[in-house]
Amino acid sequence: NGDPTPVPRVAVVVFLLKGRSLLLGRRRSAVGNATYALPGGHLEFGESFEECAAREVKEETGLDIGKSEFLTVTNNVMLEQPKKCHYVTIFMRSVVGVDVEEEQVPQNLEPNKCDGWEWYEWDHLPHPLFGPLERMVKGGFNPFSS
């Protein structure tokens, strides 16, 4: 790619859980285009993981999440994408009805980046999932029992 010095970046993404479902949106991006991914984005200078999680979810879906908790971190080297990138990805969790008020409806606030947000049952996930998420699921990671 044309960037002079590529570096790893930190991303914070959120497993937003509601019953047996989680919130996914299909990406419109040079990274993982047309794959289903969690809400989230880049950690900004000075932010905590929790602050970043709440900010990104709000910006992208309009949902207000109260608390979120750290689940796990993965290293994602994606050199095959149209835009080569490398992310250290922090996975957080918020549960609707516990950390998030019910009755909030997700909105697609960044339609240039996402086709829309929907709740998907864990046992019937859409495909293709975004690579980093696909690898976790195939590896047996379960956000409901972590």
Residues that bind ligand 8DG (CB under 6 A): 11, 13, 29, 31, 37-38, 40-42, 56, 76, 87, 89, 113, 130, 132-133
Among Mg ion, ligand 8DG, none, residue 42 binds (CB under 5-8 Å by kind): ligand 8DG
Produce one character per residue of 102-121: b if its CB has 16 or more CB atoms within 10 Å, e if not: eeeebebeeeeebeebeeee
Shortest distance (Å) from residue 123 CB to Mg ion: 25
Shortest distance (Å) from residue 56 CB to ligand 8DG: 6
Interface with Mg ion (CB under 5 A): 41, 56
**Nearest to Mg ion of 30, 98 (CB atom):** 30
Q: How far apart are CA 89 and CA 86, in angstroms?
A: 9
Bridge partners for 117 per DSSP? 25
